[in-house]
Structure 1
Amino acid sequence: MRLLVLGGTQLLGSAVVRTALDSGWEVTTLTRGRHGTPPPPVDARFGDRTTAAGLDELGDDEWDVCIDTSGFVPTYVRLGAQRLAGRVGRYVFVSTVNVYPDWPEKPLGPDSPVSDCPPDAGPDDGDYGYLKSGCERAVLESFPDSTTINRSGLIFGPQDNIARVSWWVDRVAAGGEVLAPGRPDQPLALIDSRDMATWMLTAPPGAFNVNSRAGTQTFDSLLTTARDVTGSDARFTWVDDGVLRDAGVEPWTEMPLWLPEAGHAWDMGVAGAYETGLRIRPLAESLADVWEWVREHGLPTGEGAERATEQEKRLTRAREREILDNL
């Protein structure tokens, strides 16, 4: 099988490349070359997918599957999809649950409404989720019967370039008293990039919410599993949401994964993905691999990290200690 990956060097893209190679696929990537080079024997091509000249690097080759991990702007996604029409058997587009305007206020089901962004929208025509919905439409124009839309939840794993889950693993590994936000039973729903990659290689056409099942993970299971796999002496002090708000802690960015008014953020209908082959590995396996990666590479920071401003806002140990001392 021949696979084209648009992207291929960051968290999800690299997982797709490694998974496909391990399964015996022939892999081609198109990247800008800003985040390293895919491993051999990948046919690594370099070009800006937002331009016709960049897409020329794909030549006239054909592939069984294209997995698009890097599309964010409809007009650019449309340009690439039109160029690949008739040359790709199935197009997998990595979208997001942010395409649902009711998320996270309402639970997501198969009939939940999606934002109505046009397929020719530009980078300044809306926010992230709105533009992703336009990207979906851009792909469907060229691949009306052979598009798989992956409306992904929160992805983590080795080579995490945003460092939300890995930030927690690193903090727990340092041991001592750890400020744990809100309630131990607060639901989470996270998906290992490698599990998502495996599913995408063989998923059928259609639109799917792709994540772990709601209720199978909690904040407590995340932290205690991180303690187990790192062998730390961490002990958790659970601090009420109101206390953290009063202290001015910024949800999600300063304290990753903490959503004090989460609503149904982690409640998304994923039955379709499971029925078509999605499998989630044990959390301990994922976190052990994350910890191995962090020990070898550290956490991304500053300009080298995706969403660098978010990285720079992470809760410092000094601020954590100040909040705990004031309880």
Structure 2
Amino acid sequence: MDILVLGGTRFLGRFIVEYALEKGHSVTLFNRGNNTDIFPDLEQLIGDRNGELEVLQGRAWDAVIDTSGFIPKQLETSGRVLKDVNHYTFISTCSVYQNNADPGIDEGGDVLTLSEEKLAEITNSEDKAQLGQFYGHLKAMSEKTIEKELPGKVLTIRPGLIVGPFDYTDRFAYWVNRVAKGGEVLAPGRPERPIQFIDVRDLAKWTVELVERKVTGTFNALGPDYELPMKEYLEASKKVSNSDATFTWVPEKFLLDNEVGPWGEMPLWVPEDFPLVEGERPWRGFMAFSNKKAVVEGLTFTPITETVQAVLEWEKTREPSEQKLAGMKPEREVELLKLFKETK
């Protein structure tokens, strides 16, 4: 197949490209030209999702895999320029769902919406923080936009947290690194609290296989295929790194009383018993979405220990001075552990 990848050089895209090439497909990249050295032998078309699409005019591909779009206008213009494509894959997110409170939400769950006025305000704003705040809303509306432009041709994949080598968010890597360092580790909430994520290599492989079979429709893409406790993940990290780490499980109330930030400062933690937003229910479903439809369609999961090992190996290639985007600072962890013991 001739495949056009919109993006393709940073994280998920690079693994999609690698797997597609392994399967013998021809791949063309379209991006802003920031990482042209990653696939130097591929045709790389330089442009911008926000209007500079001229290089795509008059070209034909069997399939498009869109890893980068999240503003509806981007999907509208891409769909029109690429209207003759046979199959269009849009990588969306589980953040599109309105309901984060109830575990087991499947692809039929209601998604977020925006008024036309609010959408115009957000997309015309130069405030990147606002774009992040409405990320799920924009992805949900982008799904509807590309389906409208290319009816019956769209595969929409809604991943949860994507993890693995080259994961620049540092959410998964924080725990792998912290446990590898050993010592007393501050662990959030209760040990049996369930978590979900998807290895980037599993997601890339499955995406290409769906494209090959021209599968359409919407799928949640996250794992594993059983309820994974946070404790099991941390113990797997300890085993792989052969560390002497011990885990002190600190109640949610203590963390919130001491203004520990969920998800960012304390990755993979969202309170079970306390709402993130006043007036809402706690987000018990945020890492408990249904993946049954994807599993039936062939999604498989790498063992956790192998994912941890891959991240550890990749971490060795990073510069020590590189700024981490998530995780608790060591001195803050020591301070909180000391305070917790004093107040028990």
- Would you call these one fold, judging by a TM-score over 0.5? yes
Q: Which residue of 2 aligns with 1:318?
A: 331
Deviation at 1:209, TM superposition (A): 0.9
Q: Which residue of 1 aligns with 2:141?
A: 134
Deviation at 1:123, TM superposition (A): 6.8
Structure 2 vs 1, CA of residues 123 and 291 (structure 1 numbering), >3 Å: closer, same or farther?
A: farther
Deviation at 1:246, TM superposition (A): 2.0
Identity of aligned pairs, percent? 36
Mapped pair 1:149 → 2:156: yes
Q: Deviations over 1:232-277 (max 9, x none)?
A: 2211111111221222211111111111133111221211111111
> TM (normalized to structure 2)?
0.86
Structure 1, unpaired ranges of 5+: 306-310
Mapped pair 1:182 → 2:189: yes
Mapped pair 1:170 → 2:177: yes
Indicate if the aligned counterparts of 1:90 and 1:148 stay in contact, CA closer than 8 A: yes
Q: Distance in 1 between matches of 2:235 and 2:57?
A: 50
SS of the aligned residue for 2:77 comes to helix
Q: Distance in 2 between matches of 1:144 and 1:228?
A: 48
SS of the aligned residue for 1:49 comes to coil
Indicate if the aligned counterparts of 1:118 and 1:134 stay in contact, CA closer than 8 A: no
Indicate if the aligned counterparts of 1:136 and 1:149 stay in contact, CA closer than 8 A: yes
Amino acid in structure 2 at the alignment position of 1:103? N
Structure 2 vs 1, CA of residues 89 and 123 (structure 1 numbering), >3 Å: closer, same or farther?
A: farther
Q: Deviations over 1:125-145 (max 9, x none)?
A: 671111111111111122211
Q: Which of 105, 111, 115 does residue 114 from structure 1 map onto?
A: 111
Q: Which residue of 1 aligns with 2:126?
A: none
Mapped pair 1:8 → 2:15: no
Amino acid in structure 2 at the alignment position of 1:96? T
**Larger RCO, structures 1/2 (Cα 8 Å, 6+ apart):** 2
> TM (normalized to structure 1)?
0.90
Indicate if the aligned counterparts of 1:214 and 1:268 stay in contact, CA closer than 8 A: no
Q: Distance in 1 between matches of 2:257 and 2:168?
A: 30
Indicate if the aligned counterparts of 1:214 and 1:267 stay in contact, CA closer than 8 A: no
Q: Which of 96, 99, 109 does residue 99 from structure 1 map onto?
A: 96
Indicate if the aligned counterparts of 1:188 and 1:214 stay in contact, CA closer than 8 A: no
Structure 2 vs 1, CA of residues 195 and 118 (structure 1 numbering), >3 Å: closer, same or farther?
A: farther
Indicate if the aligned counterparts of 2:36 and 2:44 stay in contact, CA closer than 8 A: no
Q: Which residue of 1 aligns with 2:240?
A: 229
Amino acid in structure 1 at the alignment position of 2:242? G
Q: Distance in 1 between matches of 2:6 and 2:65?
A: 6
Q: Which residue of 2 aligns with 1:212?
A: 223
SS of the aligned residue for 1:222 comes to helix
Structure 2 vs 1, CA of residues 202 and 253 (structure 1 numbering), >3 Å: closer, same or farther?
A: same
Q: Which residue of 1 aligns with 2:82?
A: 84
Q: Distance in 2 between matches of 1:104 and 1:92?
A: 28
Structure 2 vs 1, CA of residues 214 and 252 (structure 1 numbering), >3 Å: closer, same or farther?
A: farther
